Amino acid sequence: MATTTDLSTVRQSVDKANGLPNAHYIDPDVFLEERDALLFSQWSGIAVAADVPEIGDAVPIEFLGMPMLLLRDRDNQVRVYQNICRHRGMILVEEPRKIEGAIRCSYHSWCYGLDGRLVSTPHVGGPGQNTHESVDRKQLGLIEVRSKIWRDVVWINVSGDAPEFEDAMHEVIQRWSEFEQPVYHGGADSKFSLEVNCNWKLAVENYCESYHLPWVHPGLNSYSRLEDHYHIEKPEHHSGQGTLVYRQLNGENGAMFPDFPKLSQKWDTAAEYIACYPNVMLGVHRDHAFAIILTPNQQDKTTEHVHLYYSTPETDDALRAKNAAQWKEVFVEDIGVVEGMQRGRHAIGFDGGHFSPVMDSPTHCFHDWCASQIDAHRATKQAAE
Amino acid sequence: MSDALDRELLNAHERGDKTALVTLYSQAADNANTDDAKYFYMTHAYIFALDTGHPIAQQLRAKLVIAGREA
């Protein structure tokens, strides 16, 4: 029997609310409940399109226990399939590789095109007889997972019944409409992953708020003080923070990244950092952007996949490396606190914590969204029963 | 199938040399004594051709379709 937590105090206004109960961070049953309520039923980030840069590139990904296959098909479209053969449910692709021809199951050699069509079923009607009237290839293609590419992030909706991506994300798409232009992944030196011993939500919560910046990132104090930040809150959609004093990075000989074209004056010194619920954290600046995709591995283990983007395909190598190193330093500084909060969730009787009504509202916004989605999920489940 | 071809096939499987498997299974099909054996081996050649994107795949498929062995 799964744990049913009381979320009533979470849904209070920020001055009265508690954070999510401990079980939402440490209980495997609640982790599974949240898998369905917060991740599979929404648009979740799973990878970036840059992970499959060329036609035929295929990458197996396990997302919350589900085997997925990310690939770029012959029409240059990025697709996500369940990584299983329709015959016996065998895993199709075990490691990242380029598919030169068809996707062949290693078990009985059923073959699929990159467009998901089942193209051959060897010996299915007996030796040397590759058809059988009961095996309708048209009905047995790869199972495609609903997906959408935005800001190079591959978003998936596993349940298949979330609103259209553009509707679900319209608030943030609209807010950042000036950044609706091509982004170019910085390449191998512009991505890194961090293994963190915490529940995925703690990474979101920490990302949302600027309250911790002077304490956890003292290096930012010299130019980006707490009072230079503002909250971003769109209940039911996203939350985050912005800064008014973004300074461009300078390299040797005054090298700088080129700006994204045609941005308004606001972005000369502004930068924004938004957690797109549930598990994608985006940042935009006049001259670069980043995406962090959280892969929840267990209730207390998360992988953060960080990718940096620029306005042009080619950028200064040294400057790009410096930028990646700088961001990595910031994100590594956060690990101690998110892991500390994770350990703190084992304190029996902890009530979820008390928010600063002034400084913590973006985090509360996220908790309120989680609680509302979980409540809705429970109501649907109960009605079905 | 001759012992020599059988050995070559086993070696190709061991090496994971799928291009060689296309050729060797095609040879096995050509040398088979019965239709069932012929199309069994031709199916293998076809599958490894599909797997590797070998251009002969469509020819092999056409032969199998004509023989009523493939859709």
Q: Where are the domains of chain B?
A: 3-66
Among A120, A121, A123, most B C-beta atoms within 10 A, so best to mutate, is A120
Question: DSSP secondary structure string, A104-160?
Answer: E-TTT--EE-TTS-EEE-TTBTBTT----TT--GGG-S--BPEEEEETTEEEEESSS
Domain ranges in chain A with CATH number 3.90.380.10: 23-43+180-377
Among B47, B66, B69, most A C-beta atoms within 10 A, so best to mutate, is B47
Give the span between the Cα atoms of A278 and B60, in whole angstroms. Answer: 49
Q: Do B35 and A122 touch (CB under 8 A)?
A: no
Confidence of residue A184 (pLDDT cuts 50, 70, 90): very high
Confidence of residue A224 (pLDDT cuts 50, 70, 90): low
| Non-local CB neighbours of A90 within 8 Å, separated by 6+ positions | A84, A105, A106, A107
| Amino acid (one-letter) located at A19 | G
Q: Residue A220 pLDDT more than 90? A: no
What is the arithmetic mean of pLDDT over A35-49? 98
Q: Do B43 and A101 touch (CB under 8 A)?
A: no
Q: Do A130 and B64 touch (CB under 8 A)?
A: yes
Strand-pairing partners, residue A156, are A44, A147
Q: Do A129 and B35 touch (CB under 8 A)?
A: no
Give the span between the Cα atoms of A310 and A259, in whole angstroms. Answer: 8
How far the first Cα of chain B sits from its last, in Å, is: 27
Tell which residue, A36, A67, A61, has the closest CA to residue A380. Answer: A36
Q: Which of B44, B51, B69 sits opposite A111 (nearest CB)?
A: B51
Per-residue pLDDT at A213:
84
Q: Which of A122, A129, A137 sits opposite B47 (nearest CB)?
A: A122
Burial annotation A83-122 (CB, 10 A radius, 16+ → b, else e): bbbbbeeebbbeeeeebebbbbbeeebbbbbbebebbbbb
Give the span between the Cα atoms of B11 and B23, in whole angstroms. Answer: 13
Query: What CATH fold (topology level) applies to the domain A46-149?
Result: Rieske Iron-sulfur Protein (2.102.10)
Distance from CA of B3 to the nearest CA of A (A): 21
A-chain residue closest to B35, CA distance? A128
Q: Please write the tens of the pLDDT for every residue from A267-323.
A: 999 999 999 999 999 999 999 999 999 999 999 999 999 999 999 999 999 999 999
Coil, strand or helix: which one is A302?
strand
In chain A, pLDDT over 90 holds for what percent of residues? 91
Q: Please write the tens of the pLDDT for every residue from A56-97.
A: 999 999 999 999 999 999 999 999 999 999 999 999 999 999
User: Which CATH number is A23-43+180-377's, of 2.120.10.30, 3.90.380.10, 3.40.50.2300, 3.40.1480.10?
Assistant: 3.90.380.10
Domain ranges in chain A with CATH number 2.102.10.10: 46-149
Determine the Cα angle at A110 with ends A108 and A111, to 5°.
Answer: 140
Query: CA-CA-CA-CA torsion for A8, A13, A14, A18, nearest 10 degrees?
Result: -20
Question: DSSP secondary structure string, B8-37?
Answer: HHHHHHHHT-HHHHHHHHHHHHHH-SSHHH
Among A95, A129, A132, A139, most B C-beta atoms within 10 A, so best to mutate, is A129
Give the span between the Cα atoms of A311 and A309, in whole angstroms. Answer: 7
A-chain residue closest to B39, CA distance? A128
Residues of B in contact with A120 (CB under 8 A): 46-47, 50, 70
Q: Please write the tens of the pLDDT for every residue from A329-355.
A: 999 999 999 999 999 999 999 999 999
Q: Do B71 and A131 touch (CB under 8 A)?
A: yes
Residues of A with CB under 8 A from a CB of B: 100-102, 104, 109, 111, 119-120, 122-123, 127-131, 137
Q: Is the peptide bond before A278 cis (omega within 30 degrees of 0)?
A: yes
Q: Which of A111, A129, A137 sits opposite B50 (nearest CB)?
A: A111
Q: Do A101 and B53 touch (CB under 8 A)?
A: yes
Q: Residue A222 pLDDT more than 70? A: no
pTM metric for this prediction: 0.94
Q: Please write the tens of the pLDDT for every residue from A308-321.
A: 999 999 999 999 99
Query: CA-CA-CA-CA torsion for A347, A353, A359, A363, nearest 10 degrees?
Result: 90
Q: Do B43 and A123 touch (CB under 8 A)?
A: yes
Q: Which of B44, B50, B64 sits opposite A102 (nearest CB)?
A: B50
Residues of A in contact with B42 (CB under 8 A): 128
**Predicted ipTM of the assembly:** 0.94
B-chain residue closest to A131, CA distance? B70
Residues of A in contact with B43 (CB under 8 A): 122-123, 128, 130
Confidence of residue A252 (pLDDT cuts 50, 70, 90): confident
Total residues belonging to chain B: 71
